[in-house]
A = this chain, B = another copy of it.
């Protein structure tokens, strides 16, 4: 076996069987090996940020790493922004980067670069393989590192000659996958003692956006009166009718400070103490009130869900039926606003849908509607790096081919990694993308207003992405994705219903009035 075959074989033997790739010359042997390791599915992406974002989306939906295959330093560089989001999501990713052959590495060839240097800021684990004898164990180590709780990006840098050299062997013994550690009983008792006190609040993050964890939190809320908040960057949140849906910590510091003003004891469950997204003049970054006690029930690498369930047992918190909480959504008519889209999406979307949420400024108008939608999972931007929405939607669709994926996407954000549409078309991924076309970087206009600066012409121009208008219907069709444009609520409702009725990628440009 060649090193390339050993790598793919080891990955596939351990259940890493999808590879989102944009290979180059140094990765040709891996590509050739795809035909000899049929268990590995190669998914071609036209840009590396699509591959890394898709691996993140895949991991959030399966809990398992996908592999990437990137070309040398620059290929990795193009994938870094979405690896940053994956890092913040604690998604397991086996990030494979080709390197020049060992005897070529001593020269300053055009593509020579500090690959490990690029990788370190986003990776929990980095290893370069320059000997085929190490390929099998290095691949196994990379998988184990990616899966190390809570999950991380493991970057494996493989020299081209390792891939073409015969002689090593695969590494098939099972890798002991470390489970997330249980929370000690005394921590649970300590938290239990606080929940009924005034000002107690649970802050959920990490894996605690799951249906199970939220159900347990809901029971605790009903039984003890404890407030519950969800961290904004929770990688996957179970939402919709019939579920306990605690508020997400607001984006701007002022409403976040107001929401958390009454908290006296913050109990962190796979969450960090809440801080604002950005720092502002004369506004604190730390969002908990002065003197607030911070208690950690579960770290990110611990099993917060089991801890919440143990808390339920200690507190005698019985199951709660939340079905009465949700009102039936109404279909709006008239002008197409973010609010109207939210209402229509909530009314029409099927149960079990996956929402890739890169709404940015439209978020505040849309998300409250989704609370009334059929049960679904929502995948928000975890690291603040925009250009995640479409790649994550692609990865989620590859992970869950039986579920409809709906990407709710801001127009500005869509343009960072629009190439994801082409892979959706090739793979016939069941993704319906809705572009919220307000034709500006509206979040920046809001941020600019917050600075108190008068907006002159040059500043306005920097936030206006009209002039020329982007035509997302043409852009989608140019990559093989059928598309339509809606400018009224009626048009949107009709097109959205029609798009949901078919399988495969579709795009709708919603021109906001």
Contacts and interface: CB of A to CB of B under 8 A. Distances in A.
Interface of A: 21, 23-26, 28-29, 31-32, 34-36, 38, 42, 44, 46-47, 49, 72-75, 77-78, 80-81, 84-85, 88, 100-101, 103-104, 107-111, 113-114, 117-118, 120-122, 160-161, 164, 232-233, 272, 275-281, 285-286, 381-385, 387, 412, 415-416, 418-419, 422, 425-426, 443-444, 447-448, 451, 453-459, 461-463, 465, 467-475, 477-480
Given A31-B462, A42-B461, A418-B419, 13 more contacts: A29-B453, A34-B456, A35-B456, A36-B456, A73-B84, A74-B385, A77-B77, A88-B110, A104-B276, A118-B121, A164-B451, A415-B422, A471-B480
B100 A113 contact: no
B462 A34 contact: yes
A455 B32 contact: yes
* Most-contacted residue by chain B among A42, A384, A425, A480 (CB, 10 A): A384
B101 A279 contact: yes
Given A111-B383, A121-B114, A416-B46, A104 B459 contact: no
Contact of A419 (B415, B451, B471): B415
A459 to B, nearest CB: 5
A478 B24 CA distance: 29
A184 to B, nearest CB: 24
A397 B266 CA distance: 56
5 contacts: A31-B463, A72-B384, A73-B84, A111-B383, A422-B470
Given A80-B74, A161-B281, A278-B160, A42 B458 contact: yes
A475 B477 CA distance: 8
A28 B84 contact: no
Contact of A385 (B29, B111, B447, B472): B111
A280 to B, nearest CB: 8
A253 to B, nearest CB: 10
A128 to B, nearest CB: 15
Contact of A24 (B107, B281, B286, B444): B444
B111 A277 contact: yes
Contact of A387 (B73, B78, B161, B272): B78
A448 B28 contact: yes
Nearest to A458: B34
A416 B47 CA distance: 6
A35 B34 CA distance: 55
Contacts of A451: 28-29, 32, 164
A415 B382 CA distance: 26
Contacts of A109: 275-278, 285, 384
Contacts of A73: 84, 121
Given A415-B47, A458-B34, A459-B34, A84 B104 contact: no
A448 B281 contact: no
Nearest to A102: B279
Contacts of A422: 415, 465, 468, 470
Contact of A468 (B74, B160, B412, B426): B426
A447 B25 contact: yes
Contact of A278 (B26, B415, B425, B444): B26
A283 B277 CA distance: 52
Contacts of A448: 28, 31-32
Contacts of A29: 451, 453
Contacts of A415: 46-47, 419, 422
B425 A104 contact: no
Contact of A118 (B74, B80, B272, B479): B80
A289 to B, nearest CB: 16
A470 to B, nearest CB: 6
Given A107-B286, A382-B110, A444 B28 contact: yes
Contacts of A24: 444
B49 A78 contact: yes
